[in-house]
């Protein structure tokens, strides 16, 4: 073998110089590195793997560090959102409540109208009988009959406008 051989400091094998890489030293001169190309490649791979692990660890660490911040941000966003949601909900509830009360009031008024209308119609139908009954009652108990008459007059006065309008139709 005419080719010079060199012993790798890593694997300890005696290999041709061409199996070793070359590098530039601090003095600017090129020298043959101590480890064979294969060992250098393995070393680089192991460095890369170490670095990869390091990077992964750093990323994980960064995530762990930022996790609080991220959660904090998320929480704040949630809090803000919650306030907004509650505000909207409250507004909607107020609107709905007003609407419900309005409908309730209208229904109550309708019912009142219906009841009054029924009373009035019944009275119209039974006017003579009522008057007869009243007169009879009046004779039997003038004081109580007078009270009843006053109550009826009061009701009639309260519903007079409606009754007049109804009659004009
Ligand atoms: Zn080697």
Question: For residue 35, how far is its CA from the centre of ligand 1 (angstroms)?
Answer: 5
What b-and-e string marks burial along 142-165, b requiring 16 or more CB atoms within 10 Å of the CB? eeebeeeeeeeeeeeeebeeebee
Question: For residue 28, how far is its CA from the centre of ligand 1 (angstroms)?
Answer: 24
Task: Please tell me which residue, 105 or 137, carries the higher pLDDT value.
Answer: 105
Neighbours of ion ligand 1 (CB under 5 A): 8, 10-11, 36, 39
Q: What are phi and psi of 4, to 5 degrees?
A: -70, 145
Binning pLDDT at 50, 70 and 90, where does residue 34 land?
very high
Q: How many domains does the chain have?
A: 1
> How much is the pLDDT for 164?
58
Secondary structure letter of residue 7 according to DSSP: E
| Token pair of 12 as six digits | 């300890």
Question: For residue 13, how far is its CA from the centre of ligand 1 (angstroms)?
Answer: 6
Question: For residue 32, how far is its CA from the centre of ligand 1 (angstroms)?
Answer: 13
Does residue 125 have a pLDDT over 60? yes
Does residue 1 have a pLDDT over 50? no
> How much is the pLDDT for 43?
92
Question: For residue 9, how far is its CA from the centre of ligand 1 (angstroms)?
Answer: 7
Contacts of 33-41 spanning 24+ positions with Cβ under 8 A: 34/8, 34/9, 34/10, 35/8, 35/9, 35/10, 35/11, 36/8, 36/10, 36/11, 38/11, 39/8, 39/10, 39/11
Strands 14-16, 20-24: pairing kind: unpaired
Write out the residue range of the structural domain in which residue 94 sits.
5-168
Report the predicted TM-score, pTM, of the whole model to 2 decimal places.
Answer: 0.34
Side-chain half-sphere of 63: how many Cα atoms within 13 Å? 6
């Amino acid at each position: 073998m005419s080719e010079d051989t060199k012993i790798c400091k890593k694997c300890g094998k005696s290999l041709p110089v061409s199996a070793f890489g070359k590098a530039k030293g601090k003095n600017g001169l090129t020298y043959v590195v101590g480890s064979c190309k294969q060992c250098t490649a393995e070393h680089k791979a192991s460095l890369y793997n170490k670095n990869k692990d390091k990077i992964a660890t750093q990323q994980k660490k960064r995530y762990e560090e930022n996790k609080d911040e991220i959660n904090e941000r998320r929480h704040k966003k949630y809090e803000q959102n919650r306030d907004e949601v509650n505000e909207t909900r409250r507004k909607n509830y107020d609107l709905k409540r007003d609407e419900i009360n309005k409908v309730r009031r209208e229904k109550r008024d309708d019912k009142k109208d219906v009841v009054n209308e029924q009373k009035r119609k019944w009275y119209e139908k039974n006017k003579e009988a009522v008057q007869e009954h009243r007169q009879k009652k009046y004779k039997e108990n003038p004081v109580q009959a007078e009270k009843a008459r006053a109550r009826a007059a009061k009701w009639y006065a309260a519903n007079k406008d409606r009754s007049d309008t109804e009659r004009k139709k």
